[in-house]
Structure 1
């Protein structure tokens, strides 16, 4: 459903702001296209694969950033307010900018939460998240759920963004969903090399619940016993996790490549075992040219790292 004339005028004024932004680095010609604003860089890459050149996709979160804590500038807030569509993760992930998304929605800007399209999981371990009742927003570690979210995002683009070529968006979405299916199959084949007794995950916070459920892993715990990086572990938390590591025979702790791994290193040393600390791309894409520059690349790189560490 489209908004009225005042909203259209506001969007036109906002487009003039976009022209001057280094945010998107786009030309004046590109800025004339409709604008889809995406909060996280993982969803941004997914959306770009489906939208192609049909709209300008503006991603708010930079590479190697933390979706729980990143914030935006006043200029970026203006882009949100004047978007043709806002794509966000949902599930409380983008804690630093959720108020901006909600404010834009209240003013009539169409929004789509990717989490609304998937079956959510509760946190496997979540003492700080409502005793396991809180939804886990990290659905992208499961390519099958990403495919569901991708189709929902494409549907919102076709519904709310004027001027896009429906056939092009549908074709690009179909191609990308096929690539996601191929990714899931390749992950399954790679993980088959890991013995069931070694499929145990320790991460720096609870981020791999969906991957564990899809591919048959057990989440033993996390350095930060929460679904957000904004929490902090207590001494009792670390002592409890150390005991779990020893009893479960954990051989690797997986740390976010964009976050400090000091606590993970301390935990590995405290466990008194030969435990590797392995960096993964978990909540953000890596920089351009890195092994995690796109969602597909990120998942392939993580699969290889997990398989090598646990095989």
Structure 2
């Protein structure tokens, strides 16, 4: 849940951005416009990649949150407001991940369609009984990703009916790739004994992945689905004890979070920390132009890194 101080900052920023947007500032980082292409704003790297795959050449996508930026702590910029103001469709990940979006859309005067890609996904609650609401990291189960891209296809087709057949064809192609990703991941984890499938991450971002591929979630450095939570001394001690008691082999850092605390806990627990180029993509994707810059590539990276670390 968004704290009051952050809500006030976003509200004030949005009010100021309204004035700036009126000056016609160009949205930084937006892709060059194509004649006749549908202008879409996508909030996160994951949904932006989904829109590109479903929309193809018939859409131009402005991605709000850049790679390796923590979406839980994101605050909108003047360029974001201008991009939303000139878009025809806004696509969000949903489940409360983009707490800033509603205020920003209102300030931008946006009157187009907002597509909630999470619609229809069965949500999980956090390990703490849902204290922070449902888990927003739905894309880590490819079956949920299929629901997300189906919602996106419907939204694009409604906004651009003349291109509906192309969007439907792209959806068929991409869902087949998602099915293959899921099948490959199931097969990969079948090679790892159940007693070795123990996961400790920077924050509780992999619940859907854990459930889908039958891993055991031992704990997280940040004891929450929200990265703004803080680890108490007792929680740190408890996590170290749990890692030792369960025989967990590694702690996995994440690309959008600093690894220092994970490294300190790993040292105390006597296990390795997986970080740097091997860090998991929990909330983000990799750099544009790399395999990990796509959803499929990032998920394959995660699986390969986890398997190699736990098998070792």
Which TM-score band applies after superposition, normalised by the shorter structure?
0.7 to 0.9
Question: Partner of 1:180 in structure 2?
Answer: 178
Find the counterpart in structure 2 of residue 4 from structure 1: none
| Residues in 1 aligned to 2:135 and 2:82: alpha-carbon distance in whole angstroms | 29
Q: Write the distance in 1 (CA, Å) between the matches of 2:136 and 2:256.
A: 18
Give the Å deviation of 1:34. Answer: 2.4
Counterpart in 1 of 2:76? 72
Q: CA deviation at 1:96?
A: 4.1
| TM-score, length basis structure 2 | 0.86
Counterpart-to-counterpart distance in 2, 1:147 and 1:303: 19
User: 1:268 touches 1:276 (CA, 8 Å); kept in 2?
Assistant: yes
1:148 deviation in Å? 1.0
Offset of residue 17 of structure 1? 4.5
Out of 254, 272, 276, the residue aligned to residue 275 of structure 1 is: 272
Match of 1:24 among 15, 27, 30: 30
Equivalent residue number for residue 118 of structure 1: 121
For 1:76-133, what per-residue CA distance to the aligned partner results, in whole angstroms no more than 9, with x for missing partners? 21221332111101111123444214666x854311212223111111x237x51xx7
Measured after TM superposition, the shift of residue 198 of structure 1 is 1.1
Unaligned runs of 5+ in 1: 1-13
- CA separation of 1:101/1:119 partners in 2, compared to 1, >3 Å: closer, same or farther? farther
Q: In 2, distance between residues paired with 1:98 and 1:246?
A: 44
Matched, 1:86 2:90: yes
Partner of 1:155: 154
1:157-189 deviation per Cα after TM superposition (whole angstroms, max 9, x unaligned): 111x13641111000011000000000011111
Answer yes or no: is the 8 Å Cα contact 2:81–2:104 preserved in 1.
Answer: yes
Q: Which residue number corresponds to residue 299 of structure 1?
A: 299
Query: How far apart, in 2, do the equivalents of 1:96 and 1:250 lie?
Result: 37
What pairs up with 1:134-145 in 2 under 5 angstroms? 134-145=133-144
Distance in 2 between the 1:285 and 1:109 partners? 27
Displacement of 1:50 after TM fit?
A: 0.3
CA contact (8 A) 2:181 2:300 kept: yes
**Residue 42 (structure 1) aligns with:** 46
Aligned match for 1:33, one of 29, 32, 37: 37
Q: Determine helix, strand or coil for the equivalent of 1:299.
A: helix
CA distance in 1, matches of 2:289, 2:154: 30
TM-aligned CA distance change 1:296 to 1:107, over 3 Å = closer
CA distance in structure 2 between the aligned counterparts of 1:244 and 1:42, rounded to whole angstroms: 32
Counterparts of 1:223 and 1:82, CA distance in 2: 40
Runs (4 or more) in structure 1 with deviation over 3 Å come to 95-98, 101-104
CA distance in 2, matches of 1:101, 1:215: 37
In structure 2, C-alpha distance between the alignment counterparts of 1:281 and 1:72, rounded to whole Å: 22
Tell me how far 1:270 sits from its aligned partner.
1.3
Which range is displaced more, 61-70 or 143-152?
Answer: 61-70
Aligned residues: 287
Could you tell me which residue of structure 2 aligns to residue 226 of structure 1? 224
| Residue 195 in structure 1 maps to residue 198 in structure 2 | no
Change (3 A) 1:103 1:214: farther
Query: Displacement, 1:64?
Result: 1.3
Deviations 1:214-264 (A, max 9, x none): 110111111000111112111111111111111111101111023210000
TM-score (ref. length: structure 1): 0.86
Find out whether 1:52 has 2:49 as its counterpart. no
Hey, what's the Cα distance between the residues in 2 that align with 1:102 and 1:146? Answer: 28
> Tell me, what secondary structure is at the counterpart of 2:119?
helix
- Alignment match, 1:210: 208
